[in-house]
Amino acid sequence: MDSVVVRASMESAGPALVVASYSLFCVIASEITMTTSLEVLEAEALKLAPADRSHLLERLIASLDADPEVEEAWEMEADRREASLKSGSATEVSGQEAMSRLRSRLAR
């Protein structure tokens, strides 16, 4: 009965208000559903064994890198770096050393 009263009062206010109110309702309902679905999915994912969570994470990250041109560019860069190491024109440094050098450059 309450919905009939609300509908009648909205219809008397004009069609634009009815459409705007319905659109707002759809957006709110969609956000609530999406949030709830995401929360459920997250809770289920956290129940997985660590190896399964790691595999899922890799798949999710891979799904974000959907641009084939970017993937190809990174593969070419990795190949170039590997060739530089093999030829001796580049040398390896530890992650700690690389970060130290980067911080030094950024501080300038």
Plot region of 102 (φ>0 → left; ψ -120 to 50 → alpha; else → beta): alpha
CB 48 within 8 A of CB 56: yes
**Full pLDDT tens readout for the chain, 108 residues:** 444 444 445 455 555 555 555 566 666 666 666 677 888 889 999 999 999 999 999 888 888 866 888 888 989 999 999 999 999 999 999 999 999 999 999 998
Full DSSP string of 77-96? HHHHHHHHHHHTSS----HH
Q: What's the rounded Cα separation, in Å, for the pair 101 and 43?
A: 40
pTM: 0.37
The span from the CA of 108 to the CA of 88, in Å, is: 29
Residue 103: strand, helix, or coil: helix
